[in-house]
Amino acid sequence: MITNYTLDNLNEAQRDAVCSLSLNSLVIAGAGSGKTRVLIQRILWLIEDNNFSPFSILAVTFTNKAAKEIKSRLSESLDTNIESMWVGTFHGICYRILRTNFKEVDLPKNFQIIDSDDQVRIIKRIMKDNEIENSQIIPKQVAWYINNKKDQSIRSDKVSDDDFLSIQYNKIYKIYEEYCNSSGLVDFGEIILRTLELLQKNDEKRKYYNNLFRSILIDEFQDTNTIQYQLIKVLAGNSSSIFAVGDDDQSIYGWRGAKVENIKKLQKDFKDIEVFRLEQNYRSTGNILEAANNIILNNDSRMGKNLWTEDKSGDLVKIFSASDETEEANFVIDTLQNFVSEDYSKNEIAILYRSNAQSRIFEEKLIANGIPYRIYGGFRFFERAEIKDVIAYMRLAVTNSDNNSFERIVNNPPRGIGEKTKNILRSIAKEKNKSLYESAKEAIENSLVPNKAMHSLIEFLNIIETISSILQKDELPHQISEIIKITGIKSVYEKSKSEQSRSKLENLDELVSAAHEFVHVDLEENETIIDAFLTHTSLESGEGQGNEWDDCIQLMTLHSSKGLEFPIVFLVGLEENLFPSRMSIEEDNLEEERRLCYVGITRARKKLYISHAQIRRQYGTDNYCMPSRFLNEIPENVVEEIGHKSKMFFKKNGIFQENDHKGLSLTGKRVIHKKFGEGIVTAIEGSDANTRVQVSFDDVGTKWLILAISNLEIL
């Protein structure tokens, strides 16, 4: 049955795990340690050496891509129908069970799966039909609430939340359940929940699957959530063996329900479990691994392991201290261009960042230099929905005849202008050859739409007129800030604590920063700065992005980078309140942020550049930045500092070393700063890394600077 089975390509630790005779096994597999190879070889070993039927093995992973890779590699060795094997994602496996047992779970034979967009549309319809109108209740947030409850195996009749908003959400959840049941619709959360309920309530079916699956293998076990763990327990029963592969140091999805504590829970719930550690890394050089190991060592709640490699130490990790984010971006682009000229492929180079908003300045520099790039797992900055919304408001205020912009924002954020009202406006526009904006005015003047819609249209037109007035005065950054405020776009995302909403808020703030950089742009004849900016946003969104198969620079968030590897990695923005993020610091969630840093570092195979800026424009203002605490956790012997040395990276005996300003006798000295020019030091406060100096600059007035990263020079 197996055509080329061998264990010769495994190291000793991998072979011990693959050939474990224990009933249950937990394999802690470090980054680049060959976990997929171990999982596949375990399946082959069960079939070849233990006479397991290929169809008595269940292998579960988290992405279709990972499932496809496992199937592809199994097909190279097995002379059997791979598609009939139980290999797939949690959703894929559960969908297969539901299809077979549709009667037992009260579903029609041809039940349909709905995606997240369908889910939101249904919720909107429910709210309209049931006259649920509240500016605090946003359909996407209701969908998040419903999915979150299902991930915890909680039906609407079992919800115990008693705050006002949750009560309203749960009311919609209950109607939503009834609607989906009557329509034969199943969302992603329902696929797993209904499968779990089938196995919990139907003894015959539970025993059938317990007997069918002699061995259950789970990939990326650290990413399992509450309901997925429950499902594994029920499927395993008392007879199936568990083979879980994961890495607690790479658990970075807590914000979407992943429970890293499931690793320890597994050891309590399953008897006779043996733990294996895969610590030999086949990806990165010694210096990169030493940096990663020393950072993750600072996390308390971990299983513990130490990655090592037979490879050489390799290049030192380069840490670049930039004066600001523009210099940071210029350094990254210049450096990667040098590598491309040395015959590295562009797709061998990745720029990783904590926040989606950080991509903008790198995109602009790449476009300016004619370098193709690809945003992995996301949209380019000016193609992101929230950015396009703000731009559409600007466009409509500048050109009232812009029907595309009108269609996009007339009910965005939601203000009660539905398709019925839009159709009336479209009819007027077509009949009288008017723009939709003009048609809205006519509809109001002649009472052609219902009262409620009329009030909403009046509100909308007032907003556009206010924006028109704003665009006649003040500077571009202030104009955009005001547009974001008065349209209510930002408030929609502020009501949610989801990672996606936080990312959108950061993007909106970055749009204001982009406007600051645009203030002094050279204008064409008869061109206003508004015209130039709108043209800029169109051009930036229309070029530079490469296709998946093109040779182009890879840009992505750290979350998107998991599972990938590149010869050259630029890890940018290592500053306090950016990485680690402000929210992780406030919510005392630094361990997951540190794991995210560990993931980012271990994406690099040969060369790793880490950068931070001393000044970064955020929320429309210049902020002085402290280097990330993670930099202080990297041992000095594996690092080469380049750029404006901050003298802050390394600490000995818990005390930051700062030798450039002994005695701090600076008061009254005349100094020069790269950005602010010349001035006089008027005050000093603090000590060590926190020392601040007040400088009265000749041109820009008085500013407080962090001494260790200010790069002030005494004249």
Note the pLDDT tens digit of each residue in 197-221.
999 999 999 999 999 999 999 999 9
**How many residues does this entry show for the chain?**
715
Rounded CA gap, 638 and 631, in Å? 12
Identify the weakest region by mean pLDDT among 132-141, 504-513, 541-550. 541-550
Give the rounded distance of the alpha carbon of 641 from its chain centre: 29
Q: Which of 15, 16, 36, 171 is catalytic?
A: 36
Rounded CA gap, 292 and 573, in Å? 17
Q: Which of 250, 487, 614, 618 is catalytic?
A: 250
Dump pLDDT digits (tens) for 665-712: 587 778 888 778 888 888 887 655 557 788 888 888 888 787 766 678
Place of tokens 């992603």: 188
Active site residue 250: yes
- Report helix, strand or coil for 277: strand
CA angle 370, 375, 381 (to 5 degrees): 80
Other CB atoms closer than 10 Å to residue 538's CB: what's the count?
A: 13
Dump pLDDT digits (tens) for 637-646: 999 998 765 4
Asked if 202 contacts 175 with a C-beta cutoff of 8 angstroms, the reply is no
CA angle 40, 225, 155 (to 5 degrees): 130
Query: For residue 220, what pLDDT is reported?
Result: 95
pLDDT at 473 over 50: yes
CA dihedral for 160, 162, 167, 171, sign (positive or negative): positive
Give the rounded distance of the alpha carbon of 237 from its chain centre: 35
Place of tokens 């496809």: 68
Q: Which of 35, 283, 380, 562 is catalytic?
A: 35
Between 252 and 643, the higher pLDDT residue: 252
Q: What is the dihedral of CA 597, 354, 348, 375, to 10 degrees?
A: 150
Give the rounded distance of the alpha carbon of 356 from its chain centre: 7
Please choose, from the candidates 553, 563, 601, the residue with its C-alpha nearest in 3D space to the C-alpha of residue 579.
Answer: 601
Dump pLDDT digits (tens) for 86-120: 999 999 999 999 999 999 999 988 888 888 888 99
Q: Which of 187, 220, 328, 402 is catalytic?
A: 220
| Model confidence pTM above 0.85 | no
Query: For residue 372, what pLDDT is reported?
Result: 93
Q: Which of 603, 605, 607, 616 is catalytic?
A: 603
Rounded CA gap, 562 and 247, in Å? 12
Active site residue 14: no
Asked if 248 contacts 303 with a C-beta cutoff of 8 angstroms, the reply is yes
pLDDT at 524 over 80: no
Rounded CA gap, 17 and 186, in Å? 38
Q: Cis link prior to 413 (omega < 30° from 0)?
A: yes
Query: For residue 688, what pLDDT is reported?
Result: 56
Rounded CA gap, 349 and 527, in Å? 38
Active site residue 641: no
Between 307 and 537, the higher pLDDT residue: 307
- The CA–CA distances, whole Å, from 335 to 307, 329, 339, 558 equal 28, 10, 7, 20
Active site residue 36: yes
Place of tokens 């199937």: 71
Pick from 131-140, 338-347, 531-540, 541-550 the range whose average pLDDT is largest: 338-347
pLDDT at 70 over 90: yes
% of the chain residues with pLDDT over 70: 93
Rounded CA gap, 6 and 2, in Å? 10
Query: For residue 660, what pLDDT is reported?
Result: 41
Q: Which of 151, 187, 190, 219 is catalytic?
A: 219
Dump pLDDT digits (tens) for 269-293: 998 899 999 999 999 999 999 999 9
Other CB atoms closer than 10 Å to residue 279's CB: what's the count?
A: 17
Please, where are the H alpha helices in 474-589?
476-487, 489-494, 499-518, 529-542, 558-561, 582-586
Rounded CA gap, 672 and 464, in Å? 46
**Section 377-396 average pLDDT:** 88
3-state secondary structure 600-648: HHCCEEEEEEEEEEEEEEECCEEEECCECHHHHHCCHHHEEEEECCCCC
- Dihedrals phi, psi of 672, to nearest 5 degrees: -130, 140
Asked if 619 contacts 582 with a C-beta cutoff of 8 angstroms, the reply is no
Q: 206: which 2 tokens?
A: 């539970």
Active site residue 603: yes
Arithmetic mean of pLDDT over the chain: 88
Query: For residue 687, what pLDDT is reported?
Result: 58
Q: How confident is the model at residue 652 (pLDDT cuts 50, 70, 90)?
A: very low
Dump pLDDT digits (tens) for 126-182: 998 888 877 678 888 899 999 999 999 999 999 988 888 888 999 999 999 999 999
Q: How confident is the model at residue 229 (pLDDT cuts 50, 70, 90)?
A: very high
Rounded CA gap, 74 and 524, in Å? 61
Please choose, from the candidates 631, 599, 600, 627, the residue with its C-alpha nearest in 3D space to the C-alpha of residue 613.
Answer: 627
pLDDT at 464 over 60: yes
Active site residue 485: no
Q: Cis link prior to 580 (omega < 30° from 0)?
A: yes
Question: Is the backbone of residue 447 left (phi > 0), alpha (psi -120 to 50) or beta?
Answer: left
DSSP state, residue 556: E
Dump pLDDT digits (tens) for 562-609: 999 999 999 999 999 999 998 898 888 899 999 999 999 999 999 999
Query: For residue 655, what pLDDT is reported?
Result: 31
pLDDT at 648 over 60: no
**DSSP tally for the chain: helices H, then strands E:** 27, 23
Please choose, from the candidates 344, 386, 334, the residue with its C-alpha nearest in 3D space to the C-alpha of residue 507.
Answer: 386
